């Protein structure tokens, strides 16, 4: 069985500061890993995905994530937060079939 744990349900950062969202996964096989973002009253949008190529994955809006097998982690970072980054972020894992398992989500607040 596969699962995802997101550490911290809420993260508050100052504009211009580093954004770090933590995600740990469990999977019995090499996983595919995803980060999705959800803005208020909108559907989920893919930020980036890891599918066993480069361990450092770059996504949209300046976000990136690093796959660390030894730590079973896939943390999401952005060097400098922008007000528009305020949203809810979901980490998800998929074994090589089709079913995504999502974490509980982390809400990001950006302070001016």
Partner 1 sequence: GAGVSQTPSNKVTEKGKYVELRCDPISGHTALYWYRQSLGQGPEFLIYFQGTGAADDSGLPNDRFFAVRPEGSVSTLKIQRTERGDSAMYLCASSLSQGAGELFFGEGSRLTVL
Residue entry with tokens 């996983």: 31
Q: How far is the CB of 63 from partner 1 (least distance, A)?
A: 15
SS3 112: coil
CA distance 105 to 103: 5
- Closer CB to partner 1, 20 or 60, in the complex: 60
- Closer CB to partner 1, 28 or 112, in the complex: 28
With CB under 8 A as the rule, give the number of residues binding partner 1. Answer: 25
Q: What is the largest CA-CA distance in the chain?
A: 42
Stretch that binds partner 1, among 13-21, 22-30, 65-73, 98-106 (CB under 8 A): 98-106
Q: How many C-beta neighbours within 10 Å does residue 86 have?
A: 16
CA distance 44 to 50: 17
Quick note: the x/- pattern for partner 1 over 32-71, rule CB under 8 A, is x---x----xxxxxx--x-x--------------------
CA 53 to chain centre: 17
Instruction: Note the residues at the interface with partner 1 (CB under 8 A).
Output: 4, 9, 32, 36, 41-46, 49, 51, 90, 92, 94, 96-105
């Amino acid at each position: 069985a596969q699962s995802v744990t997101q550490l911290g349900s809420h993260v508050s950062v100052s504009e211009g500061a580093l954004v770090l969202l933590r995600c740990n996964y469990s999977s019995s096989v090499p996983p595919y890993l995803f980060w999705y973002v959800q803005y208020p009253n909108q559907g989920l949008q893919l930020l980036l995905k890891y599918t066993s190529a480069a361990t450092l994955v770059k996504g949209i809006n300046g976000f990136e994530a690093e796959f660390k097998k030894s730590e079973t982690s896939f943390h999401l970072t952005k060097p400098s937060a922008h007000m528009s980054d305020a949203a809810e972020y979901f980490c998800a894992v998929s074994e090589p079939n089709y079913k995504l398992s999502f974490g509980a989500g982390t809400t990001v607040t950006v302070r001016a």
